[in-house]
């Protein structure tokens, strides 16, 4: 029989309703499992077992009365969850992954954390990220090195590094990450879990920024959909948020037959695609075709100049942020990130505008390329999990963004895009399939991802804690 820490959120909630399991028992099981993993994995920040157990006891009392807490009609009451550390939770400092940050406790929950608390989730603590979230890596100047549970010598990806590792390792079923260029999809792909980068503004977040989204990270698309029902509830603090839409998030049934699906196997920029990843994604496309979808190969629309333009724009933004810090604090930043950011300083206004123009160019070209299709399939990344100690797959400042050619376009275009596992390398590392949809079609993307979960080959067992710690 599965242990409580292995159960999905839906399974836990059903057990609570049936009174065959209590939130306290589930939370204890998860905390004990974390204790076995964490000395090697290092996925958490501000883990608070006593607070989590107190929340579980309060949840248990509500379930005993038959009065579970809910938010927008969706309950997560008693379900263990983690939140990425750059999403404020009241009373906890927000280091942003860097030793350069002053550790001032947050005064209030940010919108995603507030919704989770309102829905009754048991908040275990926070998860790790690299400096300022500007790496697809578990490397940080503040947190200990976060590793990939599938292979502890490998990287979990980032910037939602701890969330991806925690989801794969079984630190409870529900985790929240953030994504501005691939930061929920990359760790989801490299850790073999499911995620949705929603349409910009679908999940209110504070502070908002162009391309920045919060997203659920779970082991199943159904649990991600359940979280969307909670996280998408309105919050006026996000001045970029979408008008609230009351979707039936758990209605995931989808007829694949007749769907027009684009297949993108060349990002047009960055690193070349690994042949094993190509094979896995093409096999997924053939499965959709066999189920009646109309699959059409796509030509790349991104170019090296477009990718480099966005990279330069981000470097300049980060250079300005770093220049505002006292030198003593700047010196604490991860040297790789400092070198990357400072290379964007001293730009003329004309040069900065050219970089910004490329972000708009990415947006326009992405929307136009996707317009003929209902959904687009692609790899999440051209490579799988890489060396744990490296800040990026190339380990070079100049090419640090060369793995995000498949993910970045959908941040700039504001389109929803999911990552769901589609196979494994011969060495056993997971491979991510990206499923993107038109702007605002978040539920449709989840439905197609759920359909893929029903079609895909049997999954490997989830990784277990090392026997010797």
Catalytic residue selected from 8, 22, 137, 159: 159
Q: Which residues contact 107 (CB under 8 A, 6 or more apart)?
A: 90
- 57 labelled catalytic: no
Question: From start to end of 70-202, where are the E strands?
Answer: 80-84, 122-127, 174-179, 194-197
Cβ(24)–Cβ(150) under 8 Å? no
Residue/partner pairs of 318-322 with CB below 8 Å, 24 or more apart? 318/132, 318/134, 318/344, 319/343, 319/344, 319/345, 319/346, 320/345, 321/132
Question: From start to end of 98-237, where are the E strands?
Answer: 122-127, 174-179, 194-197, 213-218
- 355 labelled catalytic: no
- 343 labelled catalytic: no
Question: From start to end of 111-193, where are the E strands?
Answer: 122-127, 174-179
Beta-bridged to residue 421, according to DSSP, are 432
Cβ(1)–Cβ(7) under 8 Å? no
Nearest to residue 469, comparing CAs of 34, 5, 161, 3? 34
Q: Is 4 left (phi over 0), alpha (psi -120 to 50) or beta?
A: alpha
Q: Which residues contact 429 (CB under 8 A, 6 or more apart)?
A: 148, 150, 151, 154, 190, 384, 385
Q: DSSP states of 335-348 as a string?
A: HHHHHHHHTTTT--
Separation of alpha carbons 277 and 263, rounded Å: 14
Torsion of CA 175, 377, 152, 214, to 10 degrees: -20
Enter the tokens of residue 385: 């999990």
Catalytic residue selected from 29, 42, 59, 84: 84
Catalytic residue selected from 29, 183, 199, 378: 183
Q: Catalytic site residues?
A: 84, 159, 183
């Amino acid at each position: 029989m599965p242990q409580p820490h292995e159960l999905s959120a839906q399974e836990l909630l059903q057990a609570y309703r049936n009174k065959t399991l209590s939130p306290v028992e589930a939370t204890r099981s998860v905390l004990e499992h974390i204790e076995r993993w964490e000395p090697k994995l290092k996925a958490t920040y501000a883990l608070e077992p006593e607070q989590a157990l107190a929340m579980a006891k309060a949840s248990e009392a509500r379930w005993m009365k038959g009065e579970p807490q809910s938010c927008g009609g969706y309950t997560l009451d008693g379900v263990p969850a983690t939140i990425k550390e750059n999403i404020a939770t009241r009373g906890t400092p927000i280091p942003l992954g860097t030793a350069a940050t002053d550790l001032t406790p947050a005064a209030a929950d940010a919108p995603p954390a507030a919704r989770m608390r309102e829905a009754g989730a048991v908040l275990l603590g926070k998860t790790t990220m690299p400096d300022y979230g500007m790496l697809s890596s578990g490397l940080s100047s503040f947190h200990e090195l976060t590793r990939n549970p599938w292979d502890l010598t490998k990287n979990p990806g980032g910037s939602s590094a701890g969330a991806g590792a925690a989801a794969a390792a079984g630190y409870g079923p529900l985790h929240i990450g953030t994504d501005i260029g691939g930061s929920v999809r990359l760790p989801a792909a490299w850790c073999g879990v499911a995620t949705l980068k929603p349409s910009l503004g679908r999940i209110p977040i504070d502070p908002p920024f162009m391309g920045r989204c919060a997203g659920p990270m779970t082991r199943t698309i159904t649990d991600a959909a359940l979280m969307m029902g909670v996280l998408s509830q309105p919050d006026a603090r996000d001045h970029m948020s979408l008008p609230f839409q009351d979707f039936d998030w758990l209605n995931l049934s989808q007829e694949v037959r007749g769907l027009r699906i684009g297949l993108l196997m060349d990002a047009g920029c960055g690193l070349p695609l690994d042949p094993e990843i190509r094979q896995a994604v093409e096999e997924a496309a053939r499965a959709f075709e066999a189920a009646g979808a109309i699959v059409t190969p796509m030509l790349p629309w991104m170019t090296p100049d477009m990718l480099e333009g966005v990279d330069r724009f981000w470097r300049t933004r980060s250079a300005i942020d770093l220049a505002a810090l006292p030198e003593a604090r700047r010196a604490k930043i991860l040297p790789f990130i400092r070198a990357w950011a400072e290379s964007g300083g001293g730009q003329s206004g004309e040069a900065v505008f050219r970089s910004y123009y490329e972000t708009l160019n990415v947006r326009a070209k992405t929307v136009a390329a996707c317009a003929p299709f209902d959904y687009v399939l692609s790899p999440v990344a051209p490579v799988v999990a890489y060396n744990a100690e490296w800040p990026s797959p190339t380990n070079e400042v100049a090419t640090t963004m060369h793995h995000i050619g498949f993910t970045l376009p959908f941040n700039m275009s504001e389109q929803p895009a999911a990552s769901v596992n589609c196979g494994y390398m011969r060495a056993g590392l997971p491979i991510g399939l990206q499923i993107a949809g038109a702007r605002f079609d978040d539920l449709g993307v989840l439905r197609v991802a759920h359909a893929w979960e029903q079609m895909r080959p049997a999954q490997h067992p989830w990784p277990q804690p090392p026997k010797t710690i």
